[in-house]
């Protein structure tokens, strides 16, 4: 099936934008450097390349526009008429024709100037010819700017057109304005069509989809049509006329029998008779809407006569269309109460389906297929009735085969009451010694053994013995816990002695930990200083030779090598004191106060004795070198995977000038040859003068 999707058409740029883009591409994509020293053939090729490249780009742009816009002679007549109604197809063809003429003109200009460039005699002449060629191309493109603007407006409007499939199953709704067409659409499709209490709310074709008998149907809501001459109808009405004329669909003609649409039944009947020629060979259903305001039986005789005349005309249309019956031609409906809405939809879809089947059956292709088949029917030779006779052996074979067939769970479910009644047994496939055991209640299993197999009849007596044994063990554990010293039953002297013992134990543990830490943390790892070359004595000798007092530096190194911590001063002060506190150690605040002092603030470049610097200048240089050495490392450490990185702010391929037709190696080779020629010429001149002067020199 053909599907038209005009949303894929490329945007049509103005003429000035086309010229700017192509000239920019020509400058960037072709060589840009030419010298007077080049051979004339090379100069000609240089400018011919620019002219040829510009012509190709212009033709490509214009060809894209021509190819993407639809040709009115190649598309469905529905869209051809819509184009004529909405845009005037003559103007549309003229705009595309101007673009096609411009494309051919540009190709001709390029051909003429390329022929002239082949005979160019100088750089200046070739350059002027190139400028003239590009100038004429740009002038021709700028002249069609109004056509390009017109085509861009058409493209924007075409993108808003509905995508209609002219060959699929279609239900078409038509009638006077405000008779309930859009309200019916909202009931039968999933979309939301705008419904208002005034005429011409729907200004264009609106497409929706519905389902009937598992088939998809296309429902089209058309704008309202007024009963007036063809040439007086506006663009909105002509959209409906084009859809009625070119779509093979089931037509629903809506009739407002309550006359609340401000049009009488006589006016609506006159519209029906004026456009009935558009209903030929199509299933037609007359829908009397708004029966909640006015029932069909309550109409006057004149109005009922008009309705019956329309029904008679609809029956003629059904007969011409080859419909199988004439029922359902006149239906009543109310979109307010949903009375008869689904009946109207089903009737229209059913009549359309029958009509399409009947048309296919009458087609030449179907008749060719039917002519190939022959249905042979035997003729009876007498009046006796002969029943079917199946041999007994065949029946027995069928019964045995049915008995051997394995029943499925679905068959068992159907035999035992169906879903919700029958419950499939999960135990019937158990492999047991006796099939009767399958439905038994399963005993509890522990560690892979059946508990029931190991049941002891005296289990209660044994449990009581275990409980008594557990009680005895709990009593023994309580007695052992009561024997430990908790301090509640001691005298004051015993409590003081116990506190001194615990305090001494804590001090011994701290000294052991500090000794172990100091021994295991040397200044230089032993694996790098096996010969003990990096020692404090050697550092002192080097500092003395430089004229620096090494005492402070050596003391500082020794203090660091001992691994002195804050707790060491505390333990040493506690060990030296004779009076040991009974209540425990001092508070943490006091320990921190005794273990450190407030350091005075210094300038970062001020030399401190023991740092190993001669003066502040030397320290300043050392700090600067340290920062420089760690800059890249710190930068890499701070940089994460999600950080935005611009390694090069000015890439060379974007900011450096373009080279000539030769590459770097060719330029370097040319320079070598030039210097070689100069050197050879100098040598030749010296030899010439030596020959002229002779032995006098």
> φ and ψ at 289, to 5 degrees?
-95, 165
The single-letter DSSP state of residue 38 is: S
- Provide the pLDDT for residue 601: 61
Structural domains of the chain, ranges and CATH numbers in brackets: 6-157 (1.20.120.1190), 165-363 (3.40.50.300), 516-565 (no CATH)
The sign of the torsion formed by the CA atoms of 111, 115, 118, 121 equals negative
Cα–Cα separations (whole angstroms), residue 590 to 138, 216, 506, 570: 92, 90, 18, 10
Summarize pLDDT for 524-538 with one digit per residue, the tens. Answer: 555 555 566 667 777
- Provide the pLDDT for residue 585: 43
CA 179 to CA 184: how far, in whole Å?
A: 10
Q: What residues in the chain have per-residue pLDDT under 70? A: 1-4, 318-327, 442-443, 452-453, 455, 480-489, 516-534, 558-602, 637-649, 651, 653-655, 657-697
In sequence order, which residues have a C-beta less than 8 Å from that of residue 45 and are 6 or more positions away? none
- Provide the pLDDT for residue 151: 92
- Provide the pLDDT for residue 13: 92
- Provide the pLDDT for residue 566: 47
CA 611 to CA 286: how far, in whole Å?
A: 109
- Provide the pLDDT for residue 141: 94
> φ and ψ at 551, to 5 degrees?
-65, -45
Cα–Cα separations (whole angstroms), residue 242 to 78, 207, 275, 494, 597: 6, 15, 12, 117, 100
Summarize pLDDT for 617-645 with one digit per residue, the tens. Answer: 888 899 999 888 888 777 776 666 666 66
In sequence order, which residues have a C-beta less than 8 Å from that of residue 645 and are 6 or more positions away? 639
- Provide the pLDDT for residue 108: 95
Cα–Cα separations (whole angstroms), residue 198 to 202, 204, 447: 10, 16, 84
Residue 299's nearest CA partner among 361, 339, 255, 337 is 255
CA 1 to CA 166: how far, in whole Å?
A: 8
String of DSSP letters for 244-268: HHH---EEEEEEETT-TTS--HHHH
- Provide the pLDDT for residue 662: 54
In sequence order, which residues have a C-beta less than 8 Å from that of residue 117 and are 6 or more positions away? 44, 47, 48, 51, 126, 129, 130
């Amino acid at each position: 099936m053909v599907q038209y999707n005009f949303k894929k058409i490329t945007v049509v740029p103005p003429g000035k934008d086309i010229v700017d883009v192509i000239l920019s591409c020509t400058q960037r994509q072709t060589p840009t450097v030419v010298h007077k020293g080049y051979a004339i053939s090379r100069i000609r090729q240089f400018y011919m390349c620019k002219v040829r490249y510009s012509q190709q780009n212009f033709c490509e742009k214009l060809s894209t526009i021509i190819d993407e816009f639809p040709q009115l002679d190649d598309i469905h007549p529905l869209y051809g008429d819509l184009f004529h109604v909405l845009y005037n197809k003559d103007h549309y063809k003229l705009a595309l024709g101007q673009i096609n003429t411009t494309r051919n003109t540009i190709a001709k200009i390029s051909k003429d100037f390329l022929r002239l460039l082949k005979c160019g005699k100088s750089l200046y002449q070739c350059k002027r010819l190139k400028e003239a060629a590009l100038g004429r191309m740009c002038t021709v493109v700028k002249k069609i700017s109004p056509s390009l603007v017109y085509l861009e407006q058409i493209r924007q409007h075409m993108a808003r057109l509905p995508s209609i499939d002219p060959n699929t199953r279609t239900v078409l709704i038509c009638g006077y304005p405000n008779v309930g067409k859009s309200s019916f659409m909202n009931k039968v499709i999933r979309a939301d069509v705008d419904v208002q209490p005034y005429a011409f709310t729907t200004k264009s074709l609106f497409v929706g989809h519905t389902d009937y008998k598992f088939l998809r149907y296309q429902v089209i809501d058309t704008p309202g049509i007024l009963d007036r001459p063809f040439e007086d109808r506006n663009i909105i009405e002509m959209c409906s006329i084009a859809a009625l004329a070119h779509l093979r669909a089931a037509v629903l003609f809506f009739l407002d029998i309550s006359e609340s649409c401000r049009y009488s039944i006589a006016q609506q009947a006159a519209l029906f008779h004026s456009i009935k020629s558009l209903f030929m060979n199509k299933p037609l259903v007359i829908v009397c809407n708004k029966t909640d305001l006015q029932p069909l039986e309550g109409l006057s005789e004149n109005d009922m006569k008009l309705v019956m005349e329309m029904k008679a005309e609809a029956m003629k249309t059904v007969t011409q269309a080859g419909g199988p019956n004439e029922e359902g031609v006149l239906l009543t409906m109310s979109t307010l109460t949903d009375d008869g809405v689904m009946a109207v939809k089903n009737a229209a879809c059913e009549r359309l389906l029958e009509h399409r089947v009947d048309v296919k059956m009458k087609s030449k292709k179907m008749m060719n297929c039917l002519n190939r088949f022959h249905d042979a029917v035997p003729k009876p030779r007498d009046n006796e009735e002969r029943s079917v006779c199946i041999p007994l052996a065949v029946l027995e074979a069928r019964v045995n085969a049915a008995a051997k067939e394995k029943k499925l769970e679905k068959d068992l479910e159907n035999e035992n009451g169906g879903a919700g009644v029958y419950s499939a047994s999960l135990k019937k496939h158990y492999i047991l010694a006796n099939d009767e055991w399958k439905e038994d209640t399963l005993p509890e299993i522990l560690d892979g053994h059946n508990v029931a197999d190991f049941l002891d009849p005296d289990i209660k007596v044994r449990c009581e013995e275990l409980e008594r044994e557990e009680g005895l063990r709990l009593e023994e554990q309580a007695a052992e816990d009561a024997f430990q010293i908790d301090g509640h039953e001691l005298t004051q002297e015993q409590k003081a002695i116990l506190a001194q013992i615990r305090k001494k134990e804590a001090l011994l543990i701290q000294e052991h930990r500090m000794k172990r830490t100091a021994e295991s943390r040397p200044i230089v790892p032993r694996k790098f200083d096996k010969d003990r070359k990096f020692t404090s004595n050697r550092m002192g000798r080097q500092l003395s030779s430089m004229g620096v007092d090494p005492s402070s530096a050596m003391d500082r190194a020794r203090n660091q090598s001992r691994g002195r911590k804050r707790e060491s001063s505390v333990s040493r002060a506690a060990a030296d004191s004779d009076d040991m506190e009974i209540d425990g150690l001092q508070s943490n605040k006091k320990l921190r106060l005794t273990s450190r002092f407030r350091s005075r603030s210094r300038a970062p470049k001020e030399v401190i004795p023991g740092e190993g610097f001669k003066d502040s200048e030397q320290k300043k240089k050392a700090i600067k070198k340290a920062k420089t050495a760690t800059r890249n490392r710190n930068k890499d450490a701070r940089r994460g995977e999600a950080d935005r990185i611009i390694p090069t702010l000015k890439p060379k391929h974007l900011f450096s000038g373009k080279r000539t037709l030769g590459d770097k190696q060719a330029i370097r080779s040319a320079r070598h040859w030039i210097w070689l020629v100069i050197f050879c010429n100098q040598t030749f001149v010296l030899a010439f003068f030596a020959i002229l002067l002779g032995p006098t020199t």
